[in-house]
Amino acid sequence: MSEREIIEKKSGEHRETANTSHEEQINLLQSITMEVAAASDLSSALEIVLRRVCEKTGWELGQAWVLNRDKTLLVCGPVWFCGEADLKHFRAVSEKSHFQPGVGLPGRVWKSKQPVWIEDVGDDPNFPRTKAAKAVGLKTAVGIPILTGDEVTAVIEFFLCQSRSENERLVNVIASVAAQLDLAIERRTAAEELSRTNDILRSVLSNMGDAVIVADKEGKFLVFNPMAERMFGTDALQMPSNEWSHRYGLYLPDKASLFPHDQLPLTRSIRGEEVNDVEIFVRHEKAPKGLWTRVNGRPLRDLNGELLGGVIVCRDITPIKEEEFFRAGQSRVLEMIASDAPLADVLTSLVLLMEGQAEGLRCSILLLNRDGKHVRHGAAPNLPEVYVKAVDGAPIGPRNGSCGTAMYTRKPVVVTDVMTDPLWADYRDLARISGLNACWSTPILSPQGEVLGSFAMYREEKRGPRPEEARLTEIATHIAGIAIDRLRQQETLRERDARISFAAESADLAFWVIYPEQNTAWMSDKGRVIYGFDSKLPLTRELLVSRVHPDERAAVRAAFDRACASHGIFESEHRLVLPYGKTRWVIVRGRCLEDEHGSLLELIGVTIDVSAQKESDLQLQIQREELAHLNRVALMGEMTASVAHELNQPLTAIANNASAARRFLERGNVDPLLLPQLLQDMVADSHRAGEVIRGIRALVRKDKSVVRSVLNLNAVIADTLRLVSSDVLLCESVVTTEMDHNLPQVEAAPVQIQQVLLNLIMNSLDAVEALPPAERRIIISTRSLNGESAEVSVRDFGTGLPKDRPDKVFDHFFSTKQTGMGMGLTIVRSIIETHGGKISAENAPDRGARFFFHLPAARGDSKSQAA
């Protein structure tokens, strides 16, 4: 049969198909829908659609177009259907073609997302395959989109070899078939996606480092991943939740009490609670040492919020907890060091800590003796006693076991087989008895590089240290070095303190140290005796200050605070009041010390008991006051004429006025104006005589309470000159004054300053006695020294002072008078110095001597206060 005959035959069949009833089309749709739903994959579904549509409708060719990987072009798919006609040429052209949106029949369907009917492809300008279609006699074509949602995922097209106008019913049927294909694609895609998701989830759960357990509301396990099986020692066992703790070995952090089943994270999650970071200790047959897990749990709910069950995620935190416990152990050892626990206890705790980090590990610490040649036992709680005793006291050297060699060479020594290593030649029997086959030892060094001892690890198996054991060795040697070095330093300090205390007690000094930041203090035995403290009483700064006399306590505390604030020097002289009432005078001197950062570290100093010296000073002061009194009495003896004159004048006036008044009364001729005047003069003269007597009494009186007041030295000089005026006249001398009217006032005892002036004036009168009367001159002057002090000068024109050392006149018992005691000027100097001043003597430029003294201005008075 020729090709034309075949085409005509087909055209007849097409005419018959065009008359297919609506019911047949419905049947076609139903049968295709059922077959597509049963298809195993997309290709099979497409093949069914293309074949069944062509068979039932009489169309010659059906083929599919699918998107390329980038979804930018439609390419001819591998599935197509062709009846008996030879359309291979057109198929070959289609396979080589590809279309963009809007180009060709597939592109137009893609772009419009609607079916497209072409009555004659030969007449359609947007049909690139026209030539190939004409060659095989294809005329009518229809393209149907396959949509997923709103997106075109494929296009199917069908061809007839005759022209046919658009059949809307047929297009709708084919479109409905395509829609069913779309649903099948969606279902298949969803199923594949779900399967892929399940595979991923299964892979994730299988490879997770955390245990994941899911249970429903009844506690039935739905998920129990491989990590959960390894962590809890078994697979999912269906049992009541109250048996979980016992079956899976779930314990509280105390490692002894089973975890309450109602508080288990999974139980709580099933109840609807969120659980965060609950730590559980797990111990079972497959994990006899136990492990730690940190659990987080959440409830499972559906989209409506209904509780379905719970899920927990368990993370193995055993390495974290072991490191945490190890660090806590290190902290405990360091706290023991800081609290000055015995070295043996510290080292034993350190060794036990290291041994607990690895199964079967035994350790020891040996100390290097002070002689630097022998070892001493430090700590070895799990080594046989016979081994410990044999090693204690052994020498160090280049072939003396692992420890002795490590100390000698100052380098780590690793012996993997003690039975063959020459370093252990002298210790093999001990090692055999003790069950030791390997030993590696590391020297313990001080911060200064001094060998303090060694840390050793022992193993029953023959091998060297592993990385984790090397880390333990590094930590152990560091901590042991701190402990041993601290002990050595404390021993050195104790020895130094003992030497210092011995030297201090020999010098009768008390040493002390105050630590302001810690509010603690240390004091030598001598200091505790001085302050009245028991030898075992803990000392603080406040306790030391509490011993200070209440009158001086505030000043001492203020001085101490100033020294601490400025990091300077503290010095004080004060009294201590002891518990039994005794008072001591002490001098305290201290200095602040800083650390390398400039912060205050401590205040160190000494206390000197000066009670005996104070008693001597008191006796000396009494003697000085007695001498000053005797000096004043002697002065009164020398001033007899002046005293008599000062008293005679008012007494004579009183007598004369009394006689006149009596005569007036005897004559009976009393003048009412004159008599009151006579009586008033008598009262005034009696007051004048009383003043003279009071002044003399003040000079000669013994008065232990010396009261100071603010004085004007110009006025004191004037009063003193009136007292000695008669002596000046008797000596035929002239006293002139040169007063500074801007002289500042001074704070002094009036009687003592008057005594100084009397001594100097009387000495000057004696110095000019041998001169002719015309040359007997004395000049008394005052001047202000910048308003800060007042100077008084007494200058005579007599014989002068010793030329080699004019100030010799102030020495005890030195006198230029044949009848002098040599104490007057000594007392004068003592008085001036007691007032904070200074007195000097010098020879005048031409002749004679000049005595001058300075007294500080009264506080708040640097201006002129002249009389």
| pLDDT beyond 60 at 609 | yes
User: Residue by residue, what is the 3-state secondary structure of 689-707?
Assistant: HHHHHHHHHHHHCCCCCCC
pLDDT band at 803; cut points 50, 70, 90:
confident
Neighbours of 241 (CB within 10 A): 15
Q: Which long-range contacts (CB under 8 A, 24 or more apart) does 360-364 make?
A: 360/459, 360/460, 360/461, 361/457, 361/458, 361/459, 361/469, 362/436, 362/457, 362/458, 362/459, 363/455, 363/456, 363/457, 363/458, 363/476, 364/388, 364/403, 364/455, 364/456, 364/458
The helix (H) or strand (E) run that includes residue 603 is strand 600-609
Residues 6+ apart with CB under 8 A from 660: 678
Detail the DSSP E strand segments found in 698-808. Answer: 709-711, 734-738, 746-748, 777-785, 789-796
Query: What pLDDT does residue 867 have?
Result: 34
- What is this structure's pTM? 0.46
User: 131 and 8, same structural domain?
Assistant: yes
How far is the CA of 841 from the CAs of 559, 752, 764, 801, 806, in angstroms?
38, 19, 12, 8, 6
Separation CA 672–CA 677 (nearest Å): 9
User: 90 and 24, same structural domain?
Assistant: yes
* Better-scored residue on pLDDT, 150 or 681: 150
Query: What pLDDT does residue 716 have?
Result: 92
Residue carrying the six token digits 């008359």: 19
pLDDT band at 681; cut points 50, 70, 90:
low
Determine if residue 117 is left, alpha or beta; phi over 0 gives left, psi from -120 to 50 gives alpha, anything else beta.
beta
Is the residue at 576 inside a domain? Answer: yes
* pLDDT (average), residues 6-28: 53
Task: Point out which residues pair with 531 in neighbouring strands.
Answer: none
Domain boundary among 587, 603, 619: 603
- Count of domains forming the chain: 6
Residues 6+ apart with CB under 8 A from 39: 45, 48, 184
Residues 6+ apart with CB under 8 A from 235: 224, 229
* Better-scored residue on pLDDT, 362 or 763: 362
* pLDDT (average), residues 291-301: 94
* pLDDT (average), residues 436-465: 92
Query: What pLDDT does residue 706 have?
Result: 62
Is the residue at 559 inside a domain? Answer: yes
> CATH code at 312?
3.30.450.20
Separation CA 195–CA 199 (nearest Å): 6
Query: What pLDDT does residue 440 have?
Result: 93
Judge contact between 827 and 628, C-beta under 8 A.
yes
CA triple 168-173-174, angle to 5 deg = 100
Query: What pLDDT does residue 591 have?
Result: 92
Q: In what order do the strands lie in the sheet with 600-609?
A: 520-523, 509-515, 600-609, 583-594, 569-577
Is the residue at 723 inside a domain? Answer: yes
pLDDT band at 389; cut points 50, 70, 90:
very high
CA 6 to chain CA mean position, Å: 101
User: 218 and 136, same structural domain?
Assistant: no
> CATH code at 843?
3.30.565.10
Interval 751-799: pLDDT, tens: 888 888 988 898 888 888 888 988 899 999 999 998 899 999 999 998 8
CA triple 791-720-639, angle to 5 deg = 130
Separation CA 760–CA 398 (nearest Å): 90
Residue type at 686 in one-letter notation:
S
Is the residue at 324 inside a domain? Answer: no
Tokens of 185: 């694609």
Whether the CA torsion 28, 33, 35, 41 is positive or negative: it is positive
Query: What pLDDT does residue 438 have?
Result: 93
Is the residue at 91 inside a domain? Answer: yes
User: 88 and 236, same structural domain?
Assistant: no
Judge contact between 726 and 823, C-beta under 8 A.
no
User: 169 and 86, same structural domain?
Assistant: yes
| pLDDT beyond 60 at 13 | no
CA triple 618-619-622, angle to 5 deg = 90
Judge contact between 559 and 570, C-beta under 8 A.
yes
Query: What pLDDT does residue 53 have?
Result: 82
| pLDDT beyond 80 at 264 | yes
Backbone angles phi, psi at 789, to 5 degrees: -155, 165
pLDDT band at 451; cut points 50, 70, 90:
very high
Neighbours of 331 (CB within 10 A): 10
Residue carrying the six token digits 């303190």: 497
The helix (H) or strand (E) run that includes residue 573 is strand 569-577
Residue type at 352 in one-letter notation:
L
Separation CA 98–CA 94 (nearest Å): 8
| pLDDT beyond 80 at 310 | yes
Domain boundary among 603, 627, 646: 603
User: 176 and 60, same structural domain?
Assistant: yes
| pLDDT beyond 50 at 117 | yes
Judge contact between 295 and 245, C-beta under 8 A.
no
Q: What one-character-per-residue DSSP string does 324-375 give? A: HHHHHHHHHHHHHHHTT--HHHHHHHHHHHHHTTSTT-EEEEEEE-TTSSBE
Query: What pLDDT does residue 839 have?
Result: 92
> CATH code at 676?
1.10.287
Interval 700-752: pLDDT, tens: 555 545 678 899 999 999 988 887 877 787 788 899 999 999 999 999 988 88
> Which among 714, 727, 719, 791 is positioned nearest to 751, based on CA atoms?
719
Is the residue at 116 inside a domain? Answer: yes
User: 534 and 512, same structural domain?
Assistant: yes
Is the residue at 103 inside a domain? Answer: yes
pLDDT band at 821; cut points 50, 70, 90:
very low
| pLDDT beyond 50 at 118 | yes
SS3 63: strand
* Better-scored residue on pLDDT, 144 or 180: 144
User: 213 and 185, same structural domain?
Assistant: no
Is the residue at 307 inside a domain? Answer: yes
How far is the CA of 356 from the CAs of 252, 434, 724, in angstroms?
21, 19, 102
Tell me how far apart the terminal alpha carbons of the chain are, to the nearest angstrom. 164
User: 214 and 96, same structural domain?
Assistant: no
Backbone angles phi, psi at 482, to 5 degrees: -60, -45
> CATH code at 142?
3.30.450.40
User: 147 and 66, same structural domain?
Assistant: yes
Query: What pLDDT does residue 243 have?
Result: 84
Least confident of 160-174, 196-210, 265-279, 755-769: 196-210
- Residue 104 domain boundaries: 3-192
Round the average pLDDT of the chain to a whole number and report it. 83
| pLDDT beyond 70 at 524 | yes
User: 256 and 145, same structural domain?
Assistant: no
DSSP state of 539: B
| pLDDT beyond 70 at 573 | yes
Task: Point out which residues pair with 817 in neighbouring strands.
Answer: none
Tokens of 541: 């700064």
Query: What pLDDT does residue 731 have?
Result: 82
Separation CA 254–CA 261 (nearest Å): 16
Residues 6+ apart with CB under 8 A from 246: 258
Judge contact between 453 and 367, C-beta under 8 A.
yes
SS3 456: strand
* pLDDT (average), residues 301-329: 91
Domain boundary among 491, 517, 549: 491
pLDDT band at 87; cut points 50, 70, 90:
confident
Tokens of 93: 């052209």
Interval 145-188: pLDDT, tens: 988 878 888 899 999 998 888 888 888 877 877 777 777 667 76
Detail the DSSP E strand segments found in 744-820. Answer: 746-748, 777-785, 789-796
The helix (H) or strand (E) run that includes residue 606 is strand 600-609
User: 663 and 556, same structural domain?
Assistant: no
| pLDDT beyond 50 at 620 | yes
SS3 671: coil
SS3 796: strand
Residues 6+ apart with CB under 8 A from 328: none
Interval 416-438: pLDDT, tens: 999 999 999 988 988 898 899 99
* Better-scored residue on pLDDT, 672 or 766: 766
